[in-house]
Structure 1
Amino acid sequence: MSIKKSILVRVRLVFLFVCLFACAIVYKIVHIQFLDGDKWKNISNERRIFYKPVHATRGNILSDNESILATSLPFYRVAFDPAVAKPEVFNAGVDSLAMLLSRFYGDKSADYYRRKMKNARHSGKRYVRLNSRQIGYQDKKLMSRWPIFREGKNKGGVIFEKVEKRFKPFGILAERTIGFINEDKNGAGLEYSFNGNLSGVDGEALFERIAGGSKPIYDGTEVKPQHGYDIKTTLNVNLQDVAESALYKALERTDAEYGTVILMEVKTGEIKAIANLGKTKGGYIEDYNYAVGNQGRTEPGSTFKLASMMALFEHRPDISLTDTVDAGDGRYRIKNTIMTDAKINGYGKITVQQVFEKSSNIGIAKLMEQYFGHEQQAYVDYLNKFGLNSTLGFQMDGEAVPYMKSPQDKDWYGTTLTSMSIGYELKLSPLHTLAFYNAVANNGVLIQPIIVKEIRKVDEVVQSFQTRVLNEKICSDATLKKLKLMLEGVVENGTARSIRNADYKIAGKTGTARKVKNGRYVREYSTSFAGYFPADNPKYSCIVIIDSPKGVNVYGSDVAAPVFKELADKAYALDLAMHKPMHERVVPDKESLPVVEAGSLDDLKLIYNNLGVSTRAGVTEEDWVKVEPQRRSLEFKPNPVLQNKVPDVVGMTLRDALYILGNQHLKVDVQGMGKRVKKQSLAPGTDINEEKTITIILG
């Protein structure tokens, strides 16, 4: 075969192969188009048309008076379907629309927006986002009146994509308590703990994939979302603000690491304020819920002495507050450790009441050794009975579990009993400690603290939460009476004297616990104050924790107690029900006037004015006066004290009489019992020429 024929054969074969391949392509096209057409059309529709979730509006979080603490506000992103508008509508309005978009957003020129819309229309795009910035509802209404957009979604192609954002009207107030939840459903606080109620149920709608994105198709098959429920909390906005402000000032003043405050109603267990502030480079922020969570679970220190004394009085009801304990010289050896008291030379022999008021570690330790030294399990059993080893079942997630040792544990040492009795070798959260103090204020009834009162759907209450009693009686009434007297004594005479006041009485206990670092106790402290007020009829209980304060005065009485006092003052001022009634000022008859015969003019004026008794001063020059009752008032008559003359002390208090007679260089012999001088042995006005003794009789 010649070369020419060989080439022709090859060309013909190639041509034949090409023809056969072309026929195969035609056949395949015909087969797909006509025979399998319906199949591929369905697949195309399935991929182009799809269902997409429509998120429900999240419920509101409300305060106790239904002020909004957190809500969802609608925002929008503006998108555009440039193919929808008719050519005459698009061409007539695109320049004006571009200019308005440029002015509104202020980021690009009008020419940029015009080219963006025209290019999208020319290329057949069905979706283009004009700007990623979110706009509010009023801006949406404004844009709806612009050229092209005013034709609406179906004729103008405007697409307002709804985006909901969480908004807190009070800013950072109770920020960590309100909390958050992210796209992965992780979070903290009420937002996370009650997410199932707040989130609602998402709906779904049909969307179409188009060039550049997707757009909704409203064909009647969409499922409307069920919006979330509102939750009404127990938080009081005013008290929360004071708690955060007082805590912030204390942390800033002492350069502390973190602090927490909880204010709770005694009878209901409703938390009215809960503040948590942690130190950052820029100051203090609500970075963690120290009041409830594990990071706030610490050794409570001296505030735990209340539990130890409760166990002691329950174990030995015969122990009296006037019984004495020898606290020694301030140093006490227990096994191989030395326990110390705050007072350098020690307190010596003091009463049980003073052991608590002065927060004597040695006094508590000696009592524990004496009465529980051979019954250590009994001490732990009492603590368990008081509910200190169990969780409270708090409504918010992340509640810390108490840590408490038992004599059966391997790390129960010879010093563990005495260490636990003063608040070491155990851990409690601030909320747990407060619940215990609240039980004392609540006559022994231990209740579960609550922070959410109701779950609502608009105005309909879906679920309400009531106070749940955890223990009807944690101790006897006799024990409670002793504990209350001790707690009041701490403020009246003990370590918290700085916060006592005349308007209402506070009962509580200071705490200063050394912290552990690298397995050793260091000279850094967790300071605290826990208590309740008014002491005679408790309305609120409160705890303040300030961790690692710096400076000279770093004890609970110096750091935590003033925060308690500031919050208590505000709560007292706001709650008129706690105020003592002001009695009407009356003009008494002569028969009802108090009979006080003599005394200091200034003192008597002050007393009678406070009693609402009208007074008249016959002579105001004298310091000492006699009192003469008139028909509707008291008149002060001069009772001069003359040099070298026996004064008239009949009717005076013993204190005043001793003061005057002593200044006259008289020896005084006191006889009888009573509040005032009824008789005196030397007549008033008698000369004092030599050293004399005067006998005064009280009655």
Structure 2
Amino acid sequence: MNIKKSILIRVRVAFLLVCLFACAIVYKVVYIQFLDGQKWKSISKERRIFYKPVLATRGNIYSDNGSILATSLPFYRVAFDPTVAKAEVFNSGVDSLALLLSRFYGDKSEEYYRRKMKNARHSGRRYIRMSSRQINYQDKKMMARWPIFREGKNRGGVIFEKVEKRFKPFGMLAERTIGFINEDKNGAGLEYSFNSSLTGTDGEALFERIAGGSKPIYDGTEVKPKHGYDIKTTLDINLQDVAENALYKALEKTNAEYGTVILMEVKTGEIKAIANLGKTKGGYIEDYNYAVGSQGRTEPGSTFKLASMMALFEHAPQIKLTDTIDTGNGTYRIKNTTMSDSHHGGFGKITVKEVFEKSSNIGVAKLMEQYFSNDQRAYVDYLHKFGLSSTLGFQMDGEARPYMKSPEDKNWYGTTLTSMAIGYELKLSPLQTLAFYNAVANNGVKIQPIIVKEISKEDNVIQSFQTRVLNEKVCSDETLKRLKEMLEGVVERGTARNISSPDYKVAGKTGTARKVKNGRYVREYSTSFVGYFPADNPKYSCIVIIDSPRGVNVYGGDVAAPVFKELADKVYARDLAMHKPMHARVVPNKDSMPQVPAGSFEDLSLICNRIGVSSHANNVEEDWVKVSPKRRSLNFDPNPVLQGQVPDVTGMTLRDALFILGNQHLEVRVEGVGKRVQRQSKTPGTDIDKDKTITITLS
């Protein structure tokens, strides 16, 4: 066989193989398309159609009076299926729609949107997103009336994809307490702690994968989501605002690192305000919950002396407040360390009561050595009995665990007893310290603080929360009596006498603890004041912490106590139940009417009844009234106080005027001397403008 014939045979064989391969491909195509086509179509459909969760609407968070602290607002992304609309509808409306979209979004030209929609329709694309920008509900209603879109989803092809965003109507107020939760289910505050209640149960619906995304298919098989429950907190918005403002001013003034304030009702344990502000480059923000978390757990300093004195009186009830202790010249050697008092030159010989009022470290240390040096375990056992070594079981996640040594520990030194007695070598969170002071105010009953009152669905309460008693009696009544007397003495004569008020009594204790850096105590301080008011009938307890203040005066009485007073003054001004009752001093002349131009309807009615003056109310449903004399009686006419409008306080007492104007968030300037308001700088009934300063003149 010659070479030419051999090549020809090979070519013919190769051609035959190619033909056979081509026939096989044709056969396979025909087989897949016709014989096995249904199978692959169903597989394609299964992969194109899929179930996707429909997220439930997250529940709301409310304040104690029902004001919304956090809610979910609906936003929308606008998508479009340009193949749905009929040709005449699409062609007649596409130009106008493109113009409206260009003007609304302001990011692309009219020609861009026209070409985008036409090209998608021509190529058969069933899903295009008009913009990444989200719109609100009002924008959605407006766009639903535009050309093509007005035909709706089924005939016009418009798709409004709902996206919910968390919104806080009061902005950054109580921001860290309200908290957050991210996509990874991590977070902080109430949003995180009550996520299981707030989040609800997601639904499910069919979606179809199409070019550029997916779109829902409503075929009746979808499962509707069950929306989350609402939670009602104990927070008072007005007091929260006052607490944050007072704390912010103190932090700015002292250039401190961070601060926290907690205001709590004594009997109920309900937290009415909880503010946390930390220093950043841009100022102070709520960056961490120092009131509860581990970063706020510090050595309490002198505020812990209340626990030491409680242990002392329980252990040695024979001690009298009038017993004397020689504190010397202000320094005292204990083992290999020297303890000192803040007062230069020392306090000399002072009573047990003065030891507490003047916050003498040496006085407390000597008392501890005298009564506990031979049984140091007994002192620690008292602290455990008071509940100071245990967490409170607070409703929010992240509560720090107290740190407290025991004599059996390796790091229990010869000076540990006296150090602990004045608030060192142990750590508590501000909330744990407040709960202990609150127990003293509450006649020895230690209760669990709460911040959430109930979980509800619409008007139906799903779960309610009541404060739990942690210790029915932390100490004896005799010990309580002594402690209360000393706490009141701190404000009347001691380290916090600068916050004494003529209107109500305050009981509390200052604290100034040195900070530890690199294992050594440095000249930086954590300052504090914790107490309760009114001292003779406690209604509120409060703690203020200012960490690392800078300046000349960096003690608790100078830095933290004024914040306490500002908050307490505002609370007292707005809580009429705390005010002392008014008693008539003289019997009035029945022929002349009392000169009372305006005031509280309830108070004035009570006074008229007590002193025998006839009064008439003209359809009064308001708390405040104007008074006009008529013959031998007084007429009460409504004097409404409307939110957002300047109230009429002329004729009122200064106290009533401050209460009303303060509730309207107005900054008040007082001129003149007298008992009642003669005139005011802003016209009653007008809207409150940006300048919230109002001047009232007394006469």
Superposition TM-score tier, normalisation by shorter sequence: 0.7 to 0.9
Partner of 1:82: 82
CA shift, 1:19, in A, is: 1.4
Deviation, structure 1 residue 9: 1.4
1:385 maps to 385
Structure 1 segments, 4+ long, off by >6 Å, are none
Partner of 1:499: 499
**Deviation (angstroms), 1:6:** 2.6
Q: Does 1:236 align with 2:243?
A: no
The CA distance in 1 between the partners of 2:36 and 2:339, in whole Å, is: 92
Q: Note if 1:482 corresponds to 2:488.
A: no
Give yes or no for contact 1:102–1:109 (8 Å, CA) kept in 2: yes
C-alpha distance in structure 1 between counterparts of 2:286 and 2:25, whole Å: 69
Which residue is equivalent to 1:161?
Answer: 161
CA distance, structure 2, for counterparts of residue 113 and residue 588 of structure 1: 83
Contact 1:298-1:428 at 8 Å conserved across structures: yes
Task: Tell me what 2:44 maps to.
Answer: 44
Q: Which residue of 1 aligns with 2:307?
A: 307
The answer to whether 1:186 aligns with 2:169 is no
- Give me the identity figure in percent: 85
Amino acid of the structure 2 residue aligned with 1:54: V
Q: What is the DSSP-based 3-state SS (H/G/I as helix, E as strand, rest coil) of the residue aligned with 1:132?
A: coil
Q: How far has the Cα of 1:548 moved from its partner?
A: 0.1
Name the SS for the 2:166 alignment partner.
strand
Aligned residue type for 1:30: V
Q: Which residue of 2 aligns with 1:61?
A: 61
- How far does the alpha carbon of each residue in 1:572-617 deviate from its partner, in whole angstroms, 9 at most, with x for none? 111111111111242399xxxxxxxxxxxxxxxxxxxxxx9xxxxx
Q: Name the residue aligned to 2:618.
A: none
Which has the larger displacement, 578-587 or 370-379?
578-587
* Equivalent-residue separation in structure 1 for 2:557 and 2:69 (angstroms): 33
Please identify the structure whose Cα radius of gyration is greater: 1
Partner of 1:422: 422
1:83–1:121 Cα contact (<8 Å) kept: yes
Q: Tell me which amino acid in the other structure corresponds to 1:336.
A: N
Q: Deviations over 1:26-82 (max 9, x none)?
A: 222233234433322221111000000100000000000010000000000101111
Q: Which residue of 1 aligns with 2:14?
A: 14
- Distance in 1 separating the partners of 2:319 and 2:335: 26
Displacement after TM superposition at 1:317 (Å): 0.6
Corresponding residue for 1:284? 284
Matching residue's letter, 2:279: K
Q: Tell me the distance in 1 between the aligned counterparts of 2:61 and 2:546.
A: 28
Q: Which moved more, 1:319-328 or 1:576-585?
A: 576-585
SS class of match (1:284): strand
- Aligned-partner Cα distance in 2 for 1:306–1:416: 17
SS in 1 for 2:228: coil
Q: Distance in 2 between matches of 1:61 and 1:303?
A: 34
Using the alignment, how far apart are the partners of 1:487 and 1:588 within structure 2?
Answer: 42
Write the distance in 1 (CA, Å) between the matches of 2:583 and 2:210.
80
Residue of structure 1 equivalent to 2:435: 435
Residue type of the partner of 1:430? P
Matches of 1:453 and 1:213 in 2, distance apart? 43
Q: Give the equivalent residue in structure 2 for 1:127.
A: 127
Partner of residue 447, structure 1: 447
Residue 224 of structure 1 aligns with which residue? Answer: 224
RMSD: 1.1
Give the distance between the partners of 2:334 and 2:217, measured in 1 at CA.
80
Q: Which residue of 1 aligns with 2:692?
A: none
- Per-residue Cα deviation, 1:155-192 (whole angstroms, up to 9, x for no partner): 11101010000000000000000000000000000000
Distance 1:478 1:104 in 2: 74
| Residue number in structure 1 paired with 2:204 | 204
Could you say what secondary structure the match of 1:287 adopts?
coil
Q: Which amino acid aligns with 2:482?
A: K
Pair 1:371-2:371 in alignment: yes
- Distance in 2 (CA, whole Å) between partners of 1:73 and 1:103 is 25
Distance 1:335 1:588 in 2: 72
CA distance in 2, matches of 1:30, 1:119: 33
Deviation at residue 83 of structure 1 after TM alignment? 1.1
Aligned equivalent of 1:318 = 318
Give the Cα–Cα distance (whole angstroms) in 2 for the partners of residues 323 and 346 of structure 1.
18
Partner of 2:244: helix, strand, or coil?
helix
Q: Deviations over 1:505-550 (max 9, x none)?
A: 0000000000000010000000000000000000000000000000
1:176/1:276 contact within 8 Å kept: yes
SS of alignment partner, residue 305 of structure 2: helix
Indicate the residue corresponding to 2:634 in structure 1.
none
CA distance in structure 1 between the aligned counterparts of 2:267 and 2:133, rounded to whole angstroms: 50
Partner amino acid for 1:186?
A: N
Tell me what 1:273 maps to. 273
Distance between the aligned counterparts of 1:531 and 1:275, measured in 2? Answer: 17
Distance 1:108 1:123 in 2: 22
1:514-593 → structure 2 map (5 Å cutoff) = 514-587=514-587
- SS of corresponding position for 2:132: strand
Are the counterparts in 2 of residues 257 and 547 from structure 1 also a CA contact under 8 Å?
yes
Is the 1:124–1:211 contact (alpha carbons within 8 Å) kept by the matching residues of 2? no
1:88, distance to aligned residue in structure 2 (A): 1.4
Distance 1:9 1:126 in 2: 55
Matching residue of 1:643: none
TM-score (normalised: structure 2)? 0.84
What is the TM-score with the length of structure 1 in the denominator?
A: 0.84
Letter in 2 for 1:183: E
Counterparts of 1:532 and 1:465 in 2: how far apart (Å)? 24
